[in-house]
Structure 1
């Protein structure tokens, strides 16, 4: 039976990416499938969360698929963005923000884009 696995992020510096993503999300690097080109990151209680794979291709400037990191309030969003930048994330100029965005676009140390989403500002969908 086909099933969905977990997201994989291409990186140029595997060890730097392991440090960033484990600190950013409180994940644990495991020995499972570990190699010079691959690391698996798990949730502390178990279960795969993210794969990191060495890649020679540059990050996409406007990726169609990306990670959303979720917070519950605007204050938490601000705090987490500051923390992620201290860990090595970068603020990006993004010309496609809607009038009242619920997200901020950042890049990891390899330049992979991701969003920090404030769920208190997310559309209600109703």
Structure 2
């Protein structure tokens, strides 16, 4: 049986991206290959969301709407930026871009 082993992001600077995503997600750099970021502790199950309209991106889940706003502020302080987006009226997510302009959502 196969399992989702990694999400691959194209980046222009591995060190900058590694620093951003390590802090954003509480990951650590692999001791033998800094291109890989590993979880600390047990690995939670990752959902693969199939969608006909959306482009490939990460969905980061916050605990609730209040935590979502805290996490968005933290990620922006780390170097992410808010992206202008046409949000639905009942949106439970915020669209951000990492320092390499990879889009991702914070949902909560």
Number of residue pairs the alignment of both structures matches = 99
Structure 1 stretches of 4+ with a deviation exceeding 6 A read none
**Cα pair 1:63 1:113 within 8 Å, conserved:** no
Q: Residue in 1 aligned with 2:41?
A: 45
Higher mean alpha-carbon deviation, 6-15 vs 38-47, is at 38-47
Q: Residue in 1 aligned with 2:17?
A: 17
What are the within-5 Å matches in structure 2 for residues 1-126 of structure 1? 2-32=2-32, 34=33, 39-45=35-41, 64-95=55-86, 97-118=87-108
How many angstroms apart in 1 are the aligned matches of 2:91 and 2:106? Answer: 11
How many angstroms apart in 2 are the aligned matches of 1:14 and 1:113? Answer: 17
How many angstroms apart in 1 are the aligned matches of 2:81 and 2:3? Answer: 33
TM-score by length of 1: 0.71
Query: Could you say which structure has the higher strand fraction?
Result: 1
Alignment CA distance shift 1:77-1:3 (3 Å): closer
TM-score by length of 2: 0.82
Q: Deviations over 1:11-64 (max 9, x none)?
A: 0011000000000010001034x2xxx6111111266xxxxxxxxxxxxxx961
